[in-house]
Amino acid sequence: MTETEISLNVHEIGVLLSALQLVDGRDEHLIAREYGSVPTLYSKLYTIWEQMDQTETKLKYEPIIEPSF
């Protein structure tokens, strides 16, 4: 199988976008050789992210719940 569909929420896509922004030049080159262009993937994800409801993109921490990071 070379393609699959997954459901991601606005927060999850935001994490992926942030991670792609942090890829340095050397790693970007290695990723491009193995999997394809990082900027192309970023552009695709950003286009989808822009169309999503972003009204609650700020995480709200509740005192009872500890962050996992």
Nearby residues of 49 by Cβ (< 8 Å), 6 or more positions away:
10, 13, 14, 17
Instruction: State the pTM of this model.
Output: 0.74
What integer pLDDT is reported at residue 53 of this predicted model?
87
pLDDT tens for 11-52 read 899 999 999 999 999 999 999 999 999 999 999 999 999 999
The residues spanned by each domain of the chain are: 10-51
8 near 51, Cβ under 8 Å?
Answer: no
Q: How confident is the model at residue 62 (pLDDT cuts 50, 70, 90)?
A: low
What integer pLDDT is reported at residue 64 of this predicted model?
65
